[in-house]
Structure 1
């Protein structure tokens, strides 16, 4: 996959990911961002191909996501680049599928809990359709603040309970409760609003 090699050799000295992020934010040098992104391009392609089921669409997604990073990393403070990038890729692909009004089954994404928690109890159910996606956006806003924050950090930013507790100040024993209750409330809300 030669297209994945486009950023090789763009930096002179190796920097840590944190240093690369800081350097990019301060300089806006796309070469620095390219060097940061390059080791993850195969992961991005594999993830996008898994969702989009098309090699050309996967290749396009790798480039589109890089362009998205060029803008987002100028303003976003990212601590765990790999997990944040994984979330960006997943959300990008879901938006592409939504735009095409396509359906993704839980089997297509190996029944990952983080992908299916909102909609699917069974492997044959669709993960998202347009009404469900709209309902998800609306229903997130109906949750109690603590539940909404815990859900977003756990499922969308892929943080563990301990990280959520540290980031929010929530008691560690409460984090799991917020996630479970928020998940249940979201599912009820989505079923009411997304399946009409």
Structure 2
């Protein structure tokens, strides 16, 4: 996390509204675009943005800088909030499979990151993964599939899916660290 983000987060922990506003201004577009890629729904994405920043304010889950970048941690919260919201809204006229079918191409990894430099590093780091690991990472993080859905889609045991995700994240973290990008991939 950059020093300004680190300071803003510390201030946020002490209920500094200005710090929350600055973090919102900095990350709102990233949070919205990432959640929109998952939900393909403008209204739900706005709800995700609100939910994520409320969680930051109420400190549901605390960032640990020793585990990686603030933006990576924030995107994990976004992903989980989007999945939770989609599951709660099952009465809406779409399902996860329909949302995925609407996407004409697979979301690129770089859309998840703020800068071209980081996107390049992530894209290069993904190349070190075995094809089966790349596939589970894309299904889990970018298509918002559950472990069980991935297991069914790939016709492999649930434990295999979990193991592949765990190993892929470990390899990505190592690769990103070697490339000097921090490396929290969770």
Name the TM-score class by shorter chain: 0.5 to 0.7
Instruction: Report the counterpart of residue 103 of structure 2 in structure 1.
Output: 108
Determine which structure has greater relative contact order: mean sequence separation of CA pairs < 8 Å that are 6+ residues apart, divided by chain length.
2
Moved >6 Å (runs of 4+): 113-116
Alpha-carbon shift at residue 17 of structure 1 (Å): 0.9
Instruction: Give deviations 1:131-166, integer Å, cap 9, x for gaps.
Output: 42798xx6389649xx83x54456xxx746142899
Is 1:128 matched up with 2:145? yes
- Give the CA RMSD over aligned residues: 4.3
In terms of Rg, which structure is larger?
A: 1
Residue 85 of structure 2 aligns to a residue whose secondary structure is helix
Match of 1:139 among 159, 162, 174: 159
Structure 2 unmatched runs, 5+? 113-133, 153-157, 181-186
TM-score of the pair, normalised by structure 2? 0.53
Instruction: Report the counterpart of residue 79 of structure 2 in structure 1.
Output: 90
Structure 1 unmatched runs, 5+? 1-14, 167-196
Equivalenced residue count is: 140
Match of 2:177 among 163, 170, 180: 163
The structure-2 alpha-carbon separation of the partners of 1:133 and 1:80, relative to structure 1 and needing over 3 Å to count, comes to same
Asked if the contact 1:51–1:108 (Cα under 8 Å) also holds between the matched residues in 2, the reply is no
The structure-2 alpha-carbon separation of the partners of 1:134 and 1:38, relative to structure 1 and needing over 3 Å to count, comes to farther
Asked if the contact 2:79–2:144 (Cα under 8 Å) also holds between the matched residues in 1, the reply is no
Instruction: Report the counterpart of residue 186 of structure 1 in structure 2.
Output: none
Alpha-carbon shift at residue 32 of structure 1 (Å): 1.4
